[in-house]
Amino acid sequence: ISSGGLSTLSIAFGNGNATLATLTADLVDTLPAGVEIAATPNIQASAGCDLGSVVAAPGGNTLTYLSGATIPANGGCSISVDVTSVALATHTNTIPINGLQTDIGNNIVATSSDLTVTPILPGLSKSITPVSIRPDDIATLTITLTNSNAVAAVLTGDLTDSFPADLLVAPVPNVQVSAGCTLGNVVAVAGGNNLVYQNGASIQPGGCTISVDVTSSVVNLYTNTIPAGGLTTDLGSNPAPGTADLNVSYEPVSIPVMPHWGLLLMAALLGMIAASRLAVNRA
């Protein structure tokens, strides 16, 4: 499963005897460290097992089939519960010899099953604000790095955001990071055309952001993209690209528009002025 995902743990009981088997002691399956019962256990029992005798508490580390429960004759049954883990490893769950004790005998062979927990791939997205500026004005480029795992993701290579031609780091880069990223590992040189988060830097659980001010003197629509796989960490790489656009343009000059009633009023005033001047001239 991915970190924090769900898996179903099942225990199958076999009984080839003509009489049912009754447990003479609790069967306790203790989960390995780092694995626990899911918040919604979803306890199940197949026909022949006693659902009411299955105990598994949310967040606990044991699944118990209580003493006095039964296993049907000439066959068997199974019980199950959902489990989860955020511990990145392969976890082995074992019921030892004599872990199952009944009135007709005990299990003579241990049984084991593995649960492998893999990391959730880190991801990234991008934004630029404002989305439109005049030439030589400033916009802020932000990269959001996501990490949904319980451990930090450590970069195994530089994360390099290469800008399109004519889009540059501002004269005052104003590099910023949120909690979870490392400011000392961010490189953005005034007048340069990239932003680098260095190899060995980390993305703490919950993720973080990196930002830098950018500018351009050339009118254009700039599309800035970090491709899938551009972020490489010990927990994997980003499966999807991150893209943001910046429009550099001269704003059109707005021409005021007078409403209809305003035009009528202006015409009336001009008429009155013209009439008054005519009267003065006649006098």
Interval 96-121 mean pLDDT: 97
- Is residue 120 pLDDT above 70, yes or no? yes
* Interacting residues of 275 by C-beta distance below 8 A, sequence separation 6+: none
- % of the chain surpassing 90 pLDDT: 88
- % of the chain surpassing 70 pLDDT: 89
- Is residue 6 pLDDT above 80, yes or no? yes
Check if the beta carbon of residue 79 is closer than 8 Å to that of residue 66. no
Tell me the C-alpha distance between 222 and 232, whole Å.
25
Q: Say which residue the tokens 């790095």 belong to.
A: 145
Q: What pLDDT does 253 receive?
A: 44
Tell me the C-alpha distance between 147 and 153, whole Å.
7
For 55-94, how does the pLDDT look when each residue is reduced to its tens digit (9 = 90+)?
A: 999 999 999 999 999 999 999 999 999 999 999 999 999 9
Output phi, psi for 183, to 5 deg: -60, -35
Check if the beta carbon of residue 23 is closer than 8 Å to that of residue 101. yes
Check if the beta carbon of residue 190 is closer than 8 Å to that of residue 172. yes
Reported confidence tier of residue 199, pLDDT bands at 50, 70, 90: very high
Task: Identify residue 22 by its one-letter amino acid code.
Answer: T
Interval 256-263 mean pLDDT: 64
Domains of the chain: 6-116 (2.60.40), 123-248 (2.60.40.740)
- Is residue 52 pLDDT above 50, yes or no? yes
